[in-house]
Amino acid sequence: MNVEGKLGLLNYKKAPETHISIKDATENGPCVKQCQDKPCTTVCPAKVYEWEEHKKKILVAYENCIECGACRMLCPFDNIKCDWPRGGFGVQYRWG
């Protein structure tokens, strides 16, 4: 089974508020001015991050997050604030 298939087996309870944000999402921020490769858009296994070219910003689909922690370690400009959803929300793993 591929990654997409496995992700489809997970249960999520969407929190009303995001637990992920781009620290500096302005037009002068690192996503626009410095980060050419935008690794968040390829590293995240749940495809939470998407670069929207015409708005010049990263879209964050926080409800798909599987809480692996990779994005905040790999953003080369430390521009992602990623906490965990509050208790009872987010991804629910059935076997630990």
Which residues bind to ligand SF4, rule: CB under 6 A?
Answer: 20, 22, 30-31, 35, 38-40, 44-46, 48-49, 58, 65-71, 75, 77, 79-80, 82
| Residue 44 or 89 with smaller CB distance to ligand SF4 | 44
Instruction: Using the minimum distance from each CB to ligand SF4, give the nearer residue, 1 or 34.
Output: 34
Find the shortest distance in angstroms from Cβ 14 to ligand SF4: 14
- CA 86/CA 37 separation, integer angstroms: 31
**Least spacing, CB of residue 53 vs ligand SF4, in Å:** 12
Amino acid at 40: C
CB-side exposure of 39: number of CA atoms within 13 Å?
13
What is the smallest separation between the CB atom of 95 and ligand SF4, expressed in angstroms? 18
> If we measure between CA atoms, which residue out of 77, 76, 74 comes closest to residue 48?
74
Using the minimum distance from each CB to ligand SF4, give the nearer residue, 35 or 88. 35
Give the integer Cα–Cα distance in Å for 18 and 31. Answer: 19
In the complex, minimum distance from the CB of residue 23 to ligand SF4, in angstroms, rounded to a whole number: 8
Q: CB atoms < 10 A from the CB of 79, how many?
A: 20
Q: What 3-state class would DSSP assign to 87?
A: coil
